[in-house]
A and B are shown apart, each in its own frame.
Chain A
Amino acid sequence: MSHAPKRYSVNLLRPKKGYMRDEVGTILLVLLGWGLVTFGFQIVLALWAGTPLGRFLTQTYLFNLPLHFFFSGQFLPLWFIILCVFYNYRLDRITEYHSHMRDRSYE
């Protein structure tokens, strides 16, 4: 035991094996869904304006609203709720799993 093992250094991009790695995996997945859907849609809307895809987005109607307006104004807040539910559900599972692993009751 001449050398202590190299210490782990907390870093979001290099999570520690075990609970943290599972947690960070879920976090990155949620962030991906958050960023792509929110900002990706706006970028598509702006860059494809005037093309058939752009016309499809602005001229199709859903609940009497143009698709893009419905998507941003109504669906995105709902999408955030879905993301939060997904995150909580996953985290409940992960916490339960790792609590069993160390034989501790679930808080």
Chain B
Amino acid sequence: MNDASWTIGIVLFVLVSFLLVGLRQKSRESLEYGFGGRYTGRIGGGAAIASNWMSAASLMGLGGIIYLQGYQALAYVIGWTGGYVLLLVLLASQIRRFGKFTAPDFIAERYGSPVARFLAALISIGISIIYCTAQFKGIGLLFSFMLGVEYNRAVLYGGAAVVSYLVIAGALGVPRNQQMLYFVICVSFIVPLMWLAHHLGYFWILPQFGYGEAISDLARQYQIDFTLPFTSGTLFGWVSLCFTLMVGTAGLPHVLSRFYTVPNVRDARWSVVWGLFFIALIYWSAPAFAVFGRLLEVRTGIRLPPPAAERMADLVVMKTAVLAGMPGWLVGVLAAGALSAAFFTVAGLLMTGAASVSYDLYYCLINPKANESDRMAVAKGSTLVLAGIVLLLALNPWGLIVQITALAFALAGNTLFPLLLLGIWWDRANRYGAIAGMLVGLCCTFAQPLLGGTFPILAQLFPLTSSALCGAPLVILVMIAVSLATKPPPDAMRDFLEHEVHGHLD
């Protein structure tokens, strides 16, 4: 067997073993299976949070953007970890006490408005689509890397593979084993990194520290300074991107519902700490791939012009492995981790998106008399439709994986985050404020492509990937102003907020 077939073999083995382990687990505990698998304690809950979070953006995109931008790209690392602080302290346990598990459901209940539900559902579906597009780009790149076919064809293969995997897993009724998924992702990312550090002669036991020396070598021997702050962007760019990713975290549809799979609030809170630690393990490591990639490139005398570097950036993790002469099976392990992360993220998001179509749009708004099987049919059909839309978008991705993902975060941060925040912490916020807020948030998110040409100032204040630094506060102000100008929400809701959400221990 040559290296490439080893790689493909390992990837297939990992994906099939997820199905087999799932089947085994299912036959053993078919009755206990609940919303997100069985309860496995705070550490297990943390692993579930982390595996749910890991996607092609974390495993492929992050290395790519740091490879291109150095310090400027650390905004992604920090934005995608710091968001959990906001989520934990401002929203998690309070929304849990409120008792609604998805953003559209919360917004519809809190603001008592079908229009708000409609908008929130559309926004949630939009977020899922954009987020999935980034995953499909990652899957397409990995398929084109492994099979040696061109990108467009690889995206089609990848899309077909994801959908058939979803159908098979759905037909077999396989529960997702989140703990095993996290373990696979973590090992498949860090073991190849240790191999790389060892191969290049750096401290390999903790490559997260070992890459420091590689940075010094790059600077000393090749005059490439990776670490200089604010060279490939401005302070405003850094801060606005970081802030956008943080507030977006709290609004992502598939992140919020994680808090309800743990039986009590206290364990739910502590599992966030573990989840954040498991996420940080990957994020501490991602810069190392970028640094080693740069180093190998200059050592072998390759100096890519910027456009070419940008084209290959999302694959830099894989390319670095190949350039270093990593054995095929280990490249396979690396690819398998990234691919399973992307696969399961897509699976989760397509299913949440489809559930939103069938419940929030179809059942709650179009046909309240629909029975279980009608709703199931709508959900299945809309999974395929959503996958089709994502596939079309992924054929012409407009940016790097992390940039596409950041747009999803900007949308969530500009629309859902202010509604959740004020919904919990200010009982005077009413439905008119909510609807106005979502509309303004949508405008902020897409201000650059829509109006940036006519009003350059808008393009500067609301950059596509980082519009929430100015957007989220603006939306909050609009919500406050509109709510104060219209009549307050019903007393029942205000009492509920006072006594149940904020008064459970009075």
A positions within 8 Å CB-CB of B: 7-12, 15-16, 18-20, 26-27, 30-31, 34, 38-39, 42-43, 45-46, 49, 58, 61, 63-66, 68-70, 72-74, 76-78, 80-81, 83-85, 87-88, 91-92, 95, 98-99, 101-102, 104, 107
Contact = CB atoms under 8 A, between A and B. Distances in A.
A94 B227 CA distance: 42
Nearest to B230: A46
Given A20-B502, A27-B90, A80-B85, 7 more contacts: A42-B238, A46-B229, A72-B74, A78-B280, A81-B276, A87-B269, A92-B266
A42 B272 CA distance: 26
Contacts of B260: none
B209 A18 contact: no
Contacts of B215: 64-66, 69
B497 interface: yes
Contacts of A46: 229-230, 235
B228 to A, nearest CB: 7
Interface string B428-451: 100000000000000000000000
B77 A73 contact: yes
A19 B94 CA distance: 13
A57 B427 CA distance: 44
Given A69-B215, A73-B287, A16 B503 contact: yes
Task: Count chain A CB atoms within 10 A of each CB in B89, B276, B427, B502 and give the residue with the most.
Answer: B89
B81 A12 contact: no
A73 B498 CA distance: 40
* Secondary structure dominating the interface of B: helix
Given A11-B425, A12-B426, A65-B215, A77 B77 contact: yes
Given A34-B82, A95-B266, A11 B426 contact: yes
Q: In this complex, which of B82, B283, B426, B498 has the most chain A Cβ atoms within 10 angstroms of its Cβ?
A: B82
Nearest to A16: B502
Contact of A84 (B84, B284, B506): B84
Of the listed residues A16, A76, A78, the one surrounded by the most CB atoms of chain B closer than 10 A to its CB is A76
Contacts, number: 155
A80 B246 CA distance: 12
B407 to A, nearest CB: 22
Which size bracket describes the interface of B in this complex?
35 or more
Contact of A30 (B89, B270, B494, B501): B89
23 contacts: A9-B494, A10-B498, A11-B427, A12-B426, A16-B503, A18-B505, A18-B506, A31-B86, A34-B85, A46-B229, A58-B227, A64-B215, A69-B226, A72-B78, A74-B284, A76-B81, A77-B276, A77-B279, A80-B280, A84-B84, A87-B88, A88-B88, A107-B265
A83 B235 CA distance: 24
A35 B269 CA distance: 21
B86 A34 contact: yes
Given A63-B209, A80-B276, A91-B269, A10 B494 contact: yes
Most chain B CB within 10 A, of A49, A78, A81, A88, is at: A81
A62 to B, nearest CB: 8
Contacts of A10: 425-427, 494, 497-498, 501-502
A85 B426 CA distance: 26
Contacts of B226: 69
Nearest to B284: A74
B505 A73 contact: no
B89 A31 contact: yes
Contacts of A64: 209, 212-213, 215-216
